[in-house]
Structure 1
């Protein structure tokens, strides 16, 4: 008998008996797909362990409430996107509780299991219900996803339970994508001939991890699927084993069965978790770089006049790599071309506004002047579509904040609302993090940006995320750490002036004035007319003790008032 404190996820399939009665063969196919492509990979990716399977339901244990909730949200979001057209639609209820668990032989008992199971039974189809104990363990990126469900009387549970609920979200707002014809990759479940439990779980976990990393890329979506379907690329992997030795053979296949990437990773069962993390990150990075180069080569070979709206939108997203004037200008130009062809294209609108507002925030006034009329039109279009597409709400609110028509409190509410609908998209997380920083709220900003970095570490957005993390450390008074992060960003690009400003402020706060003044000299070399007043105004920084650390540091470093 084993006793432990664990986060318990209880899940079951709604209307299971009816669906089996209507078409048992189709339902069994749907179940196999659910286990192989949705439930299994997501659970394993978040280090969960299935301890009980009832055919139409599962009990899963996690060591972390954050992992349990993140896994539950991903499963529900994936199901909301729909399944195979020849199979019945599967909907699930999920409950999560943090409590004592006792494992004995092939069964599991305890308060944690009982409350999680009752929460699942009381939840609505498509929703995730969590106890107060779980909600209190979540960070600032996940809490906004949940509404206060009040106190529930649960069957056979002695005391009432305070419950928080993530209700069923309309399909249009669950996906992080804002276009239907974007680039897609299918990730086949990692296959293995080894029937050992730990190897099977490792295969599921790598499948889930890689899909998560690839799907977090703004210019591409990823799904777990055995076949390509409508995806342009298919990632296939086979996990081989001999005793404790492991080898993952991988190939990336494109149109016409062209092999774009063939690679392998060796490891051992003795360091299985570290190996899982390393392989998932390195493989995702190789796949992204390969597809990025392949798509860029394809687009470069097409005359601008022959590019489609989807091509321009893809170029727009891939161009924003270094947050310098050149990459921002390419993004803005391709956005304008995409919207000239397809005026209501939401992914292009979002990318264009993000690029324009980045220009404004950093201080690239020439680009702002040239694209101001475009940005006004994009903003009008975004306002019309912002309810349907959460990613558009942040640039709309940011513009209103700078105009003074939205208060700091209202701006914060918008950020938290957007996090509620799209807390697993690294682009949304990045700009929510920066929004919190403009409000002088470094703790929730840090939550957003750390999660964004984990999801977006292999993407062109790494530089912008690092800029946010540097500012967050600075506002928290962690000056040495801020400098470390700024230097990491400057190793990627020396043309992102925000990093020099942050480093200057941090050095000044530490009393290292020579280094602070050198950083300010780099700022003024890139932006000769930059001032403290301009920095504050163009980003709408709130006046409070956290932001004061930044501006006092700039003042001491010698940036003109």
Structure 2
């Protein structure tokens, strides 16, 4: 992979007085720092959707998609340090200084980051007091209206080796920022009503292996059970993204059932050890006091994992509907090789994270289809990773574009009954500008699995490009019921539909959401702000956006996006012109 330029939120953290601490007791200090990394720093960065770029003995450099994520992570780190230092004498306390900046960086082939964005964050960390966080003005602008924080204005400061003075702000350590979920409007969302059909949410199974490397396996097991239950006719199943929001958190199944609008909750744990697999599962009626409906332990050979998945699905269906599960479950193709399965599970979701993660996913999936040429999911996931490579991450269209179509078509050939495969083929056909074929594939995906929230959302994107924004808004609403805690791209699609239908303030709300802001939707937020009459805000967003995308031209985006006609793209073009973006 060649180097790539991008805009990123950079967090640099450093331990205060590292030399003093190691001089007094090197072995104990290094052991404490290793524990700090594994128990607090790395998990907190991951929870806030960050990536550790590099670490040294006394510090860490990480990147985030937005300043909001970076600041929330920093506040949680500092709050964690206060808790860990409680009761310790001053000479044994480990304290952090943190600097955060949003700026232009260059990602090298090995994933390392270079450039002014990194340098400025490091200089901000250097002037921070122990236990505090220093922010650049660009970060402050992004978080001031999104987080409830007491921010101190430090004025302009001269930073070492930085040509111009910079306006700097500081946050004192203390309680972490609030984590109320953002809402589309100012109103509190109404509780989701129970549907007149069996409804269930599958919570992330707990990894009991004692090996963090097996986390991906346990997550994959959960995801596969969600997929299997989603294929049961007449069942309403909450999508993976919404249930994984509860991962690692104390769970009250009754509250979760209310939050997600379902009657039943399935939870469990898994232990993978050598060639054995132990799975504990329990089905709970969350709407009736949290009563246990069914529970069972499966102790099998690891090669029987797919039989275990099938049996769990069958027993859940029988417990809920009172009917024999075999008659209600739609069989789907399974891999014939566990190594290929592991590679595929590891790759899930990586295409949305970063260019380097997507490249890793492509490599793993290429290996998976070599090992098992008839592995449907591996072909589908390779197709979407190749597609995202050239439409999102700047990879060359040749040969990725043709390979994406080939693998998507191969997946449908292997298993014509796989809803996921039809969705992916629809995505690829949309960007091939085969609109009718894309619609056909999305229709098939939803008909085969009405719980396929991602297929419904992608249908909404297709309808935007066809000039049908009202239909797109209805698709978004349906997708959000299936997936109440969705990934940010759902609101990206909703924001585009709202722009197309003339609802500009609503589009600003959708595209400003924490989970959406800072993704590839940034240019659409600029258009929405300008069309809503908030031109100065649009221009400020445009300035920040262009800092990381200096070669961006809206004429290229409009021409390369799969609009059926350029007249459909006109509202976006008008907004970009108003904001002063280059054509």
Shorter-chain TM-score range:
0.3 to 0.5
TM-score normalized with structure 1 length: 0.45
TM-score normalized with structure 2 length: 0.43
